[in-house]
A and B are shown apart, each in its own frame.
Chain A
Amino acid sequence: DGGITQSPKYLFRKEGQNVTLSCEQNLNHDAMYWYRQDPGQGLRLIYYSQIVNDFQKGDIAEGYSVSREKKESFPLTVTSAQKNPTAFYLCASASRRYQETQYFGPGTRLLVL
């Protein structure tokens, strides 16, 4: 089945620790995105990548980093510089031709201990 997978479903982070969230897609999509969702709010864009080995900051990139070494993978690292990391993180992908039509993974909930 084609789709987007995110792992883990739940992730716990200690203060001062970096953690990496995984996002993989087998849809052959060129564009991939990371969003953050807080309770009662819409999605906010963290980083996006329109092609391998290239990525751009979104609206709330501070405290996060990404890489795009493979077309199917776009991992997000939440660094210790992110002071309020507790949130639901969503990965999405889209084809080059229809980049506005984004498809989402199931999400990772990050909790700080």
Chain B
Amino acid sequence: GQQLNQSPQSMFIQEGEDVSMNCTSSSIFNTWLWYKQDPGEGPVLLIALYKAGELTSNGRLTAQFGITRKDSFLNISASIPSDVGIYFCAGQLGQGGKLIFGQGTELSVKP
């Protein structure tokens, strides 16, 4: 089936550092989404991207929809302890199509 390759799988960083993670695929996506999941909770939508090349910010978070439509990245600037969690990318293949999820990036922040 369709796959999204999300990297890195995990990150251990110091508070205040910037973070970057990305998702790539061999398929072309119409939409990219980034979610954050806290332990034992449902994912929370962070950013939605709808057009190739689109760059969108949400506070300290910035995400981009790759020009080729096959990739996306998420940056977190000046990380804080509450950024800890698992970050998932998700892509939609076509109009009304199902979402395909990456395996997640687990972020740990040391105060």
The residues of A with any CB-CB pair to B shorter than 8 Å are: 4, 6, 40-45, 48, 50, 58-59, 88, 90, 92, 99-107, 109
* Contact between chains at A104 and B44 (CB < 8 Å): yes
Once the chains bind, are B103 and A100 in contact (CB under 8 Å)?
no
In the bound complex, do residue B88 and residue A43 qualify as a contact, i.e. CB atoms below 8 Å apart? Answer: yes
Residues of B15-40 whose CB lies within 8 A of A: 30-31, 33, 35, 40
**Residue in B closest to A109 when the chains form the complex, CB atoms:** B40
Contact residues of B with A, CB < 8 Å? 1, 4, 6, 30-31, 33, 35, 40-45, 48, 88, 90, 92, 96-99, 101-104
State which of B44, B45, B101 has its C-beta within 8 Å of the C-beta of A43.
Answer: B101
B102, A42: Cβ atoms under 8 Å? Answer: yes
Contact, CB under 8 Å: A42 / B101: yes
What is the bound-complex CA distance between A99 and B44, given in angstroms?
16
Q: Is B42 a contact of A99 with CB atoms below 8 Å?
A: no
A75 to chain B, nearest CB (A): 17
Q: Given the known A-B contacts A42-B88, A59-B1, are A100 and B99 also in contact in the complex, defined by CB atoms under 8 Å? A: yes
- B88: nearest residue on chain A (CB-CB)? A42
Instruction: Verify B44–A42 contact, CB threshold 8 A.
Output: no
CA distance A109 to B90 in the complex (A): 22
Taking CB as reference atom, which chain A residue is nearest B94? A100
Q: What 8 A-B pairs come out closest when comparing CB atoms?
A: A104-B42, A42-B101, A100-B92, A100-B31, A43-B101, A42-B103, A104-B43, A107-B42
Contacts of B97 in A (CB 8 A): 100
In the complex, 13 of the A-B residue pairs with CB atoms within 8 angstroms, ordered by the A residue number, are A40-B103, A40-B104, A42-B102, A42-B103, A44-B101, A48-B98, A99-B96, A101-B31, A101-B48, A102-B45, A105-B42, A106-B42, A107-B40
Q: How far, in Å, is B91 (CB) from chain A's closest CB?
A: 9
